[in-house]
Structure 1
Amino acid sequence: MSADRVVQLRWESRRVAAGGGTALSYAGISVIRRRHGEIVDRVWVPVGEEPTFADDEALIAVLHDAWRWSRPAA
């Protein structure tokens, strides 16, 4: 990993207006890419209480892409 490119993972909830003055809250993982301390990308992946295979694969793909980005070019 390069010192100028950092990947952070953060457990976060998102609130979504559901109409009628109500809101729903969804748990998820934010994958944050920083270059020289500045955020350059943020992807939030929802994580349900009973994640499906597709949920797992989506998270793996986002993590794989972020960690490949954090490695210096060969």
Structure 2
Amino acid sequence: MSADRVVQLSWEPRQVAVDDRAALSYPGIAVIRRRHGEVVDRTWLPVGEEPTFADDEALIAALHAAWRWSSHAA
């Protein structure tokens, strides 16, 4: 792993406005890639109350890609 490339996971709910008075909140995980401390990519994946196999596979794929990215020299 390279010290200048870091992968961070963050629990980040998202707010979506329905109208002027209401909003919905969606829980999710952000996979954040940083190079030299600066964010270079952010992928947000929703996390439901009952995740599906497809949800699990999407998270695994995002993590795998981010960790492979972090292992390459800048």
Q: What's the counterpart of residue 14 of structure 2?
A: 14
Coordinate RMSD, CA, aligned: 1.1
| Structure 2: 5+ residue stretches without partners | none
| Structure 1: 5+ residue stretches without partners | none
Structure 2: how far apart are the matches of 1:44 and 1:38?
17
Q: What is the identity percentage for the equivalent residue pairs of Structure 1 and Structure 2?
A: 77
**1:15-46 Cα shifts (integer Å, max 9, x gaps):** 01123531100000000000000000000000
Matched, 1:72 2:72: yes
**How do 1:24-63 and structure 2 match up within 5 A?**
24-63=24-63
**4+ residue stretches of structure 1 with deviation over 2 A?**
none
Q: Which has the higher strand share?
A: 1
Length-normalised TM-score, structure 1: 0.93
Length-normalised TM-score, structure 2: 0.93
Secondary structure of the structure 2 residue equivalent to 1:60: helix
